[in-house]
Amino acid sequence: LAKTTQPISMDSYEGQEVNITCSHNNIATNDYITWYQQFPSQGPRFIIQGYKTKVTNEVASLFIPADRKSSTLSLPRVSLSDTAVYYCLVGGGNYQLIWGAGTKLIIKP
């Protein structure tokens, strides 16, 4: 089964670009990579999903190298409201969902 590893915490400043990397060495061929955001006392919220290369939506970009053993969530021009925990999720193809432990992102003014 895939195991996901991500940094426990990160700090950045308003207006900066933030990149959070997740390692998933044992990712299966049919697994997808998904990122979620969670605020205190709320359920996680979907940010972005991808299989390979680069995916971009209105709030983030997801970079996945050819070997798919890692992925990087990129948040452009963060604001204070982006302070949250970010989770990497790998799975699907083998009927399993493996969540990372989460990265606590703190944005400073």
Partner 1 sequence: DSGVTQTPKHLITATGQRVTLRCSPRSGDLSVYWYQQSLDQGLQFLIQYYNGEERAKGNILERFSAQQFPDLHSELNLSSLELGDSALYFCASSRWGLPEVNEQFFGPGTRLTVL
Question: For binding to partner 1 (CB under 8 A), which residues are involved?
Answer: 30-32, 34, 36, 41-46, 49, 87, 91-102
Taking the C-alpha atoms of residue 33 and residue 10, their distance in angstroms, rounded to an integer, is 21
Return phi, psi of residue 81, to 5°.
-70, -5
CB nearer to partner 1: pick between 69 and 104: 104
Shortest Cβ distance from residue 15 to partner 1 (Å)? 28
Taking the C-alpha atoms of residue 91 and residue 93, their distance in angstroms, rounded to an integer, is 6
Give the residue carrying structure tokens 């452009």: 76
CB nearer to partner 1: pick between 13 and 46: 46
Shortest Cβ distance from residue 52 to partner 1 (Å)? 14
